[in-house]
Structure 1
Amino acid sequence: MVRRPRGWGRAALVCAGLAGSAVLAAPATSAFAAPSPPDQPGTTAPALPGTPATLVSPDYLTSLLTRLQTLYLQAEQATERYDATKEKLDKQQARTDAVNKQLTDERAALSAGQDLAGAIARQQYQGGSVSPYMRLLLSEDPAEAMAVAHVLQEAAGNQASLVKQLRAGEKRLTELSAQAQTSLDQVRNLADQQRKDRDDVKAKLSAVEKAVASLTGAQLAELSALEQHGIDQAQKELLASGKLGSVSRTPSAPGEQAIAYAFAQLGKPYVWGATGPDSFDCSGLTSQAWAHAGRAIPRTSQEQWADLPKVPLDLLRPGDLIVYFPGATHVALYIGDGLVVQAPRPGGVVKVSPIAANPVLGAVRPDATSPSVDTYRLPGIPADARRPTPLGAPADAAKGR
């Protein structure tokens, strides 16, 4: 995920309304060749040798960056919603399977009960009572034969009641199975729709990524610098505001383990919906970091924000989770010194970023009752772990890096 430049909210609303149209270039003010608009095929032939190239204005690059960031946000929102529903789908599938297994067992018990009741009835009809031979067959210990016979006599006397109870159990489980299947179908339909929504956003994102890919090296450098300037400015303002407090805190023992796990994942690619071990999305990284610290937390960023205890920013300690955007659609692991480890966006890798790399919503603490350790030293950060995330790179571009 990325930090939006100033004016992002207003620009995002404008750009969101242009989902199916081109991002139009403003009048030329800088010496960059203009790429085709993001959502339309190129309509202008390449400039002939010796003729002036069409120019790209800074406004065009700003619009392109805003469009790209808006779609990154929408794609992550759609993916997080789908991931949450997919988790519910898996749980509902497990419940449905359990009920169906119970129903199968109940039907087997009903069949066996009917067979046994019939056998007892036939034996009693033939001999008027349970024969000694029958007793021996039903008991490994002849000394217990009389006790078994007594049980069979009672079963024979209540065979109609027994079969009735078994049939009632089968009926109840049949109803539960039908209800479970209905719930499963509803969740599956929702997951299918959300997967379609996610894929639709990804298709739009792919179109903008192609426009970014058509930029020259100088244009890409300016676009990246524009994004980085927004991040640096936001970090400077956050630190100057005093919202992070002036006291450096230490993590809990589990928090330190979560940080160690996150550092071990540096350089692994961002992949939609991934939870490791070879790739991650944002909440896949944070949930796995805390799982490896012995604390299970919800899978998605929205659930982490909703379910975990909130903590004020001025009381942050390493190991806390920083949640971003009004919809809680991105999350990162705080490591101290105003830094986080995050899985940023498609084309990127797990990296160390300023805490203000995205608009901060708040923070949560997975282990609110755990005491802090006495001392803590921020792990050494590899030189390439803070490298800017490429803009417009397809989701698999980071693989192998």
Structure 2
Amino acid sequence: MGTVKRRKGATALTLLCALAILTAPGLTVGTAFAAPTPDPGAKSLEQVRKEIEDLFRQAGTATDAYNLAESETRTQSAKIVEIANQVVAGQERIAALKNRAGAAARAQYRSGGLPPGAKLALSNSPTQFLDGADRLRQGEKATSDLLSELNRTQSDLQQYAKDASAQWEALEANRIKQETSKREIEQKIKAAEELESKLEAEEKARLLQLEQEAQYRAQTAWLSTGVLKDVHGLATDAGKRAVQFASAQIGKPYIWGAEGPGAFDCSGLTSQAWLTAGRTIPRTSQEQLRLLPKVAIKDMRPGDLIIYFDDASHVGLYVGDGAIIHAPRPGRNVTLAGAGSMPIKAVVRPDA
């Protein structure tokens, strides 16, 4: 009986989510569910919508490349600092070893450097000589160990130099990658915004409605497969914290490369949600797909991440009842959406 009630509740909430997605300011529920009114400009406006959507998707792919390069640049910069500290420590170690070697050489000079036979002949006591010989052997071993350590430290410094050179090369390559991705992002967003700017106010409103209707059709088709009938996973405590964080960001704008607190891109939102929940995950949707454990849709639970499109260029946080919270694209805000409103590539779990 409890299961039936839960399913009914889930269905009701899913429908409410769909209504929320479709009902925009200035639009009635009836308008949202109505089929597009045939008019001479409708088809061309739909083409504009698809073109804008495609441009923003390409910008999303470039954003992922930019974010990955930026993350790698931070890692490489930290590594270079670490290597520099190792070099300084190595140089100080060499200076200390050289001082010790100099002290040993001076001590040997003061002893006259006599051969063991002469020392025995001049010694008043064979026992005294043997004690001295033992100390000499210990001193020789210490000197040998010191020279070996000196050679190892110098070898380490040579390796540090090679490592630093490799990190600098990688840093420069990532800088170029960042600049290339940034230019591509700016070009795609500018092209999309120029297309949108040419529309009249009524056309922009209609464009938003077309966008919502396309999402609704995709979500309805997804739900009609019965995909949610076996989805009963419960959120972990960490998953609940991630969902709470994402929910609190609803209404904040999408800005590419942003990780909060005032704005987010799609993976900036999901990575920060899980950071707040106590888990550090990869920064980009593509890396989240590559490195986090995958789970079947039937096994997903609130807090899991849903990766979208073949190129894994978008990600949303699953919140239950067939819905996600995500940062859609430039010009849109963090919002609740249907989990099936875009083509799903995979589901991944940050707290597996």
| TM-score (normalizing by structure 1) | 0.67
Aligned to 1:122, which of 83, 106, 112? 106
Structure 2 SS opposite 1:366 = coil
- Structure possessing the higher radius of gyration over alpha carbons: 2
Rounded to whole Å, the distance in 2 between the matches of 1:183 and 1:282 is 29
> Are residue 265 (structure 1) and residue 249 (structure 2) matched?
yes
Q: Deviations over 1:233-266 (max 9, x none)?
A: 1111111111222554421221111111111222
1:337-356 map, 5 Å: 337-356=321-340
Rounded to whole Å, the distance in 1 between the matches of 2:138 and 2:87 is 27
Shift, 1:351, TM fit: 1.4
Give the number of equivalent residue pairs: 294
Structure 1 SS opposite 2:324 = strand
Structure 2 SS opposite 1:121 = helix
- Paired residue for 2:297? 313
Q: Deviations over 1:110-163 (max 9, x none)?
A: 12221232133224424659xxxxxxxxxxxxxxxxxxxx99994566436524
Amino acid at match of 2:100: L
- Paired residue for 1:12? none
- Paired residue for 1:79? 63
Q: Deviations over 1:273-295 (max 9, x none)?
A: 22222322111111121222222
Could you list the runs of 4 or more consecutive aligned residues of structure 1 that deviate by over 3 angstroms after TM superposition?
126-129, 150-161, 246-249
| TM-score (normalizing by structure 2) | 0.75
Amino acid at match of 2:256: W
Which stretch shifts more, 151-160 or 113-122?
Answer: 151-160
Shift, 1:363, TM fit: 1.2
The 1:201–1:259 alpha-carbon spacing in structure 2 relative to 1, beyond 3 Å, is closer
Would you say the 8 A contact 1:235–1:355 is kept in 2? yes
- RMSD between aligned alpha carbons? 2.5
Amino acid at match of 1:217: A
Structure 2 SS opposite 1:334 = strand
Aligned to 2:96, which of 107, 112, 115? 112
Rounded to whole Å, the distance in 2 between the matches of 1:198 and 1:359 is 26
The 1:120–1:342 alpha-carbon spacing in structure 2 relative to 1, beyond 3 Å, is same
| Structure 2 unaligned blocks of 5 or more | 1-38, 114-133
Shift, 1:72, TM fit: 0.9
Q: Deviations over 1:202-261 (max 9, x none)?
A: 223213302311311111122112111111111111111112225544212211111111
Aligned to 2:78, which of 94, 119, 122? 94
Amino acid at match of 1:121: A
> Are residue 198 (structure 1) and residue 179 (structure 2) matched?
no
The 1:358–1:91 alpha-carbon spacing in structure 2 relative to 1, beyond 3 Å, is same
Structure 1 SS opposite 2:302 = coil
Would you say the 8 A contact 2:254–2:334 is kept in 1? yes
- Paired residue for 2:269? 285
1:122-201 map, 5 Å: 122-126=106-110, 154=138, 158-159=142-143, 162-201=146-185
Amino acid at match of 1:288: Q
Rounded to whole Å, the distance in 2 between the matches of 1:205 and 1:258 is 29
- Paired residue for 1:226? 210
Over the matched positions of the two proteins, sequence identity in percent amounts to 37
Structure 1 SS opposite 2:90 = helix
> Are residue 250 (structure 1) and residue 234 (structure 2) matched?
yes
Q: Structure 1 or 2: larger helix share? A: 2
| Structure 1 unaligned blocks of 5 or more | 1-28, 31-56, 130-149, 369-401
- Paired residue for 2:120? none
Q: Deviations over 1:330-359 (max 9, x none)?
A: 111111121111111112222111112322
